[in-house]
Amino acid sequence: MAIDHAVFVVFGASGDLAKKKTFPALFGLYRQDELPKTTKIFGYARSKLTNEEFHDKFRSNLKLLNDSQQPKIDQFLGITEYFNGSYDDPEAYKRLELAIQQFEKSQSIATPNRIYYLALPPSVFATVAANLKKYNHNGKVKLIVEKPFGHDLPSAKELQAQLAPLFSEDELFRIDHYLGKELVKNLLVLRFGNEIFNASWNKNHIQSIQISFKEPFGTEGRGGYFDSIGIIRDVIQNHLLQVLTLLTMERPTNFKPESIRDEKVKVLKAFAPIDQNDILVGQYVASRDGSKPGYLDDSTVNPDSKCITYAAIGLKIENERWDGVPIVVRAGKALNESKVEVRIQFKQVAKGVFNSIQKNELVLRIQPKPAVYLKLNSKIPGLSNKFSITDLDLTYGSRYNDFWIPEAYESLIRDALHDEHSNFVRDDELELSWGLFTPLLNYLEGPNAPTPLGYHYGDRGVPGLEQFLAKHGYEIQDRDAYQWPVTRPDILEKI
């Protein structure tokens, strides 16, 4: 059923997240006519700003696909209004409710449809939610909350206990923006819609799985904030684990949100406890040429900090499909490049005629430049009997260059608008994910915490990474055997 009206209220509207992600995403949907025809957007924050000052905060982040869309910016700003108030002031919520009601009355809206977006730290979630529940008088309500959903298992349970009496699970949307990325949303179709993958997606054919996240920058003056979080909370416990559950879950009975989330929960229950000895952790130091500072060089960081800026963690799933398949999730800051990808390496074919042949590998590059490519062995064309690794390549930028592919936040806000919960984290899923990682976090932050290995800003990873991956079944392919584009005939004699 078409949605013909909506009111959005973005709390934390003057902050960085709202400026860089939330309002640009709302504009992207507006630009593509994906918002209801009657829409009003309120930005709510403590800062005292005029409407013009508020618009100037995010105007430069609004993206146009072509010059003909230029009028859309002024039209979008025309439906966007700033509202000043503290997060614990009942009078401010009363004034907000009155402003919303006046808009709805002016548009003859009989049944309100309101989406409250909390671009705020979790410490104020309960305060804002309680006031919204008290002063929101009627209509359909949805509450979108940003990560982090707690700091560990006890705090996540406490946060849930505060929100559950106020908003039902159907009204709550816990947003993890990785679930809105196009290639992540494509995982279920790639897996279950292609028999070539579906039939081989198990321990009989797959040698190893690894998911890697690399950032080419450090904390850049935000070390004081990062010091209390670390790379595991920041990336692994949420983003990478969400990708892994989609990779390893069983086929849902249908594509309804609860069917998909049921299967994610089932596979999470099959994860073995994390072995504290099966990890590789690091903290970056200054770059080799001295041009980039180390983590401890940040004046906002405790000089004795053991905060983890790089982690590689071995995981095991103890069920019929995955028992014995080694899995590695790894993430780090201040590395040599920006990249997030999945690598699924298949087992070696039978020996004999193919003694030196390479293993097949499926690579899912989530960012940048989303792509899916499968490394295959192929005979080099012509008279040669030599073979080499080549690709079956689906690069989104080449194959879908005329498509509008929504940004992650655009996709997820639209999902929330349409009551599509598939790509949001359910309460039991959240509890299981924290239950998996909290013992490891307690160890890494406890009195017997290991000293993280030093790696230089700009390195590929921490010392010992290749050996760690090899221990977990991943074989780095012979780079000389990988030739793309295909070898030219005039140099075949040299092979």
Helices 90-106 and 125-135, interaxial angle, to 10°? 50
Q: E strands of 200-356, at which residues?
A: 206-214, 279-285, 310-315, 327-332, 339-346
Tokens representing 476 are 């780095």
Query: What is the DSSP secondary structure assignment for residue 298, as one 8-state letter?
Result: S
- Whole-number CA gyration radius for the chain: 25
Establish whether 239 is a catalytic residue: yes
Q: Which of 5, 177, 239, 456 is catalytic?
A: 239
Q: Please report which helix (H) or strand (E) contains residue 77, including its range.
A: helix 70-78
Strand partners, 456: 285
* 306 CB-contact burial (10 Å; exposed 0-12 / middle 13-18 / buried 19+): middle
Largest CA distance in the chain: 83
Give the residue from 111, 117, 121, 185 showing the smallest Cα distance to 147: 121
Tokens representing 197 are 């993958």
Cα–Cα distances (Å) from 207 to 218, 321, 325, 372, 475, in that order, read: 33, 13, 6, 19, 9
Distance, in Å, from the CA atom of 257 to the CA atom of 145, rounded to the nearest integer, reads 18
Cβ-based neighbour number of residue 273 at 10 Å: 10
Cis amide leading into 216 (omega within 30) = no
Where in the sequence numbering do the catalytic residues fall?
Answer: 239
